[in-house]
Amino acid sequence: MARVVLKPGESPDSLLRRFRKKVTQSRILSDVKKKRFFTSKSAQRRRARLKAIRRERQRQRRERQRYY
C-alpha cells in the first residue's frame, strides 16, 4: 500500500505528485490491470515468451547499431 504523509508547509499538489510516484514505483496499478481478467497459464506463458522474444530482438538491434 502506498502511503504518504503531509510534510509541514507542503502543498497538496506536491503531496499528490509524491503519492502518484509511489503508486507507480510500487506497481500497484499494473498488478491490478493484470489481474482484472482471468488468463490461463498457457496464455501467460505465451505472453511471457513473446515478451522475451521482443526483448531479445531489441537487444540485438541495439548491438547492431553499436557497430555502425
The amino acid at residue 67 is Y
> Which band of pLDDT confidence, cut at 50, 70 and 90, is reported for residue 61?
very high
Is 39 a domain residue? yes
Nearest CA-CA partner of 2 in 11, 15, 49: 15
Judge contact between 55 and 63, C-beta under 8 A: no
In one letter, which amino acid is 53? I
- With cut-offs at 50, 70 and 90, classify the pLDDT of residue 4: very high
**2 near 26, Cβ under 8 Å?**
yes
pLDDT in tens, 9-52: 999 999 999 999 999 999 999 899 989 999 999 999 999 999 99
| Number of domains composing the chain | 1
**26 falls within a domain:** yes
Residue 1 resides in a domain: no
Would 5 be classed as within a structural domain?
Answer: no
